[in-house]
């Protein structure tokens, strides 16, 4: 018989008050982010908005970077929850449908929250850089949890694709950081396919969010849809041994 885990003590009134103040600080930081960008997040302004002194605010966060990092973690968790909801919105076992719904939800969240998207995926911000840099050392890290969610759905799509991993190991040496973070659950070709597709989909969303293609196109939705269709096809089309295919081509 397995012993049950001991009950955690209920939070005290002081704990609840502290937690509420932390959330108020993060709400205020997000408000500044939305109104003026990451550069506008300020300990002095947050403290003023909450009726605190800067010294009092430092009892909750040791630095501005700590506030930005906590805000980024909240945003990663919010986005992950949105993608989980999209994943679970369809019927039955349908990896292609799950990946499709999650990709569209990612785009829709980004367009609805451009400042938040910019903090997580735009210009480097010290606190957010730390999340990405340290994610391989913390299994509970927000950035890693977000990545694991997306990769799990893609991996299931790949496994249901009906093909076989390539015999070409030319990209394996390039994937050391990925392997150190996420392990060996996917073959090199699958990882490379995912990264290539993610780069293109993310690039389209970023260009749309930041308006960098407004000079050329009125609507990037068809481009995003085409890239997503190609991702599904790349993951589900029966896969040949690339090394063998190259040998055949050289002998012609």
Q: Does the pLDDT value for residue 62 go beyond 90?
A: yes
pLDDT of residue 168: 55
Q: Report yes or no: 241 and 188 within 8 Å, Cβ to Cβ.
A: no
Rounded to 5°, the CA angle 8-9-11 comes to: 115
Within a 10 A sphere around the Cβ of 181, how many other Cβ atoms?
Answer: 16
Helices and strands, counts by H and E, the chain: 12, 0
Which pair of tokens denotes residue 156? 């299931």
Confidence of residue 1 (pLDDT cuts 50, 70, 90): very low
Q: Using alpha carbons, select from 191, 166, 169 the residue that is nearest to residue 179.
A: 191
Q: Burial-class residue 235 by CB neighbours within 10 Å (0-12, 13-18, 19+).
A: buried
Residue (of 183, 124, 195) closest to 158 by Cα position: 195
Distance (Å, rounded) from C-alpha 149 to C-alpha 117? 18
3-state DSSP call for residue 69? helix
Q: Where in the chain is the domain with CATH 1.10.10?
A: 13-62
Looking at per-residue pLDDT, the higher value among 33 and 1 belongs to 33
Tokens read off for 172: 């394996």
Which one, of 186, 199, 202, lies nearest residue 235 by Cα?
186
pLDDT at 250: 39
Share of the chain above pLDDT 70, in %: 80
**pLDDT of the residue at 138:** 37
Cβ partners under 8 Å of residue 230, min gap 6: 197
Portions of the chain given CATH number 1.10.357.10: 73-250
**Which tops the pLDDT comparison, 194 or 166?**
194
- Contact status, residue 225 vs residue 204, Cβ threshold 8 Å: no
CA–CA separation, 48 vs 52, rounded Å? 6
Homologous superfamily in CATH for domain 73-250: Tetracycline Repressor, domain 2 (1.10.357.10)
* Confidence check: pLDDT of 21 > 60: yes
User: Would you state the pLDDT for residue 178?
Assistant: 86
Are 30 and 116 in contact by the 8 Å Cβ rule? The answer is yes
Out of 68-77, 128-137, 240-249, pick the least confident: 240-249
Fold of 13-62: Arc Repressor Mutant, subunit A (1.10.10)
Q: Which of 18-22, 64-68, 72-76, 161-165 has the lowest mean pLDDT?
A: 161-165
Average pLDDT over residues 213-238: 90
Place of tokens 């019927």: 91
Between 69-73, 145-149, 161-165, the lowest mean confidence (pLDDT) is in: 161-165
Q: Cβ atoms within 10 A of the Cβ of 1, count?
A: 3
Looking at the whole model, is its pTM more than 0.75? yes
- What's the CA gap between 204 and 226, in Å, rounded? 11
Confidence of residue 6 (pLDDT cuts 50, 70, 90): low
């Amino acid at each position: 018989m397995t012993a049950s885990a001991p009950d955690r003590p209920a939070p005290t009134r002081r704990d609840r008050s502290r937690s509420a103040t932390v959330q108020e600080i993060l709400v205020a930081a997000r408000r500044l982010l939305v109104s003026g960008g990451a550069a506008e997040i300020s300990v002095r302004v947050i403290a003023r908005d909450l009726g605190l002194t800067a010294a009092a605010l430092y009892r909750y966060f040791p630095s501005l970077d700590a506030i930005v990092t906590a805000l980024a973690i909240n945003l990663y968790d919010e986005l992950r929850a949105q993608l989980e909801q999209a994943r679970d919105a369809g019927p039955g076992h349908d990896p292609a449908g799950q990946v499709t719904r999650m990709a569209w939800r990612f785009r829709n969240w980004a367009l609805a929250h451009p400042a938040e998207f910019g903090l997580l995926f735009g210009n480097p911000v010290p606190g957010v850089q730390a999340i990405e840099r340290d994610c391989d050392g913390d299994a509970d890290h927000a950035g890693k949890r977000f990545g694991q969610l997306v990769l799990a759905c893609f991996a299931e799509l790949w496994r249901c694709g009906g093909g076989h991993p390539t015999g070409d190991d030319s990209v394996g040496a390039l994937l050391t950081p990925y392997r150190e973070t996420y392990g060996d659950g996917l073959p090199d070709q699958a990882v490379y396919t995912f990264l290539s597709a993610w780069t293109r989909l993310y690039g389209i969303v970023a260009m749309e969010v930041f308006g960098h293609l407004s000079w050329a196109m009125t609507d990037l939705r068809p481009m995003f849809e085409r890239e997503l269709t190609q991702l599904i096809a790349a993951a589900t089309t029966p896969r040949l041994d690339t090394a063998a295919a190259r040998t055949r081509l050289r002998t012609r």
